[in-house]
Amino acid sequence: MIACPDARGIIASVANFVSDHGGNILEGDKHSDTHHGEFFMRIEVEQGGFTLDDKTFANEWKTVADRYDMRWRIDWGSRRKRMAILVSREEHCLNDLLWRWRTNEIDVDLPIVISNHDTYRGAAESLKIAYHHLPITAETKRQQEQTIRELLDSNAIDFVVLARYMQILSPEFVANYPEQIINIHHSFLPAFAGSKPYHQAFDRGVKVIGATSHYVTNELDAGPIIAQSVIHVDHRDTIDDLIRKGRDLERMVLATAVRQHVEDRILVSKNKTVVFE
């Protein structure tokens, strides 16, 4: 994955570098942001025949990276990413992620589920996933977050999914996991913020409902957007219909965002994402 100021010759330089080291590009995609003058690129290289590895690549690549002032990262595919799920009372996103993980649709290790309620211990432990119940009050919030961080560290977690985790994470917590915490919410925010957003939307007679998944930042529900989807509704839909359709969207959008993150298809720049599908 590459991000840098746009310039002539980047694609040729990358392709020549791969070829010069015995590599074969299996998949490639690029995007030029003409408004900000930025260039983004993602390639997949066949490892068979490629003469560089995780110990030698950076030194060889440095000449190309420095020439174009690149930000870059590489995944050698030598280990699966490790995911943790945080959840509160609503179970639809948790259950969907557990099913997709169990069927290998999301190719990650999932060692822990953490919740401020003890409701879904059975669902996790039936799949041999450790379940950690960490109640929270205003007085214990700081210690609870510290315990979460210790669990994430001890389990070598790469990224965290908030599957309807209804607690606001502190700036200190978020700062430790940049672009590594994925959240899901209904797209009514901020128009229908607060409790019972679907009731508010019903009262306004909305014609479209949606869901948004994004990376968590210190600005509440304003991080870089990864995935979104909408569905049309009309006057025939009840509040229960809106809630049901909204939950379906939340499940699908969150799973899409998690998959894109796991497959290293997301680049972040200026609070926006470039997602290579």
Catalogue the active-site residues. Answer: 221
**How many CB atoms are closer than 10 A to CB 119?**
16
Q: Tokens for 38?
A: 């930025």
Asked if 249 contacts 200 with a C-beta cutoff of 8 angstroms, the reply is: no
Q: What is the DSSP string of 188-251?
A: TTTTT-SS-HHHHHHHHT-SEEEEEEEE--SSTT-SPEEEEEEEE--TT--HHHHHHHHHHHHH
- The structure tokens listed for 178 are 């940049």
Residue pair 100/106 in contact by the 8 Å Cβ criterion: yes
* Residue 264 DSSP symbol: T
Torsion angle of alpha carbons 166, 168, 101, 104, nearest 10°? 140
Which SS3 state, helix, strand or coil, does residue 154 take?
A: helix
> What's the Cα-to-Cα distance from 171 to each of 114, 178, 183, 185, 229, rounded to whole Å?
19, 11, 15, 19, 28
What sign has the CA pseudo-torsion 257, 270, 81, 182?
Answer: negative
Q: What would the 3-class secondary structure string for 60-105 be?
A: HHHHHHHHHCCEECCCCCCCCCEEEEEECCCCHHHHHHHHHHHCCC
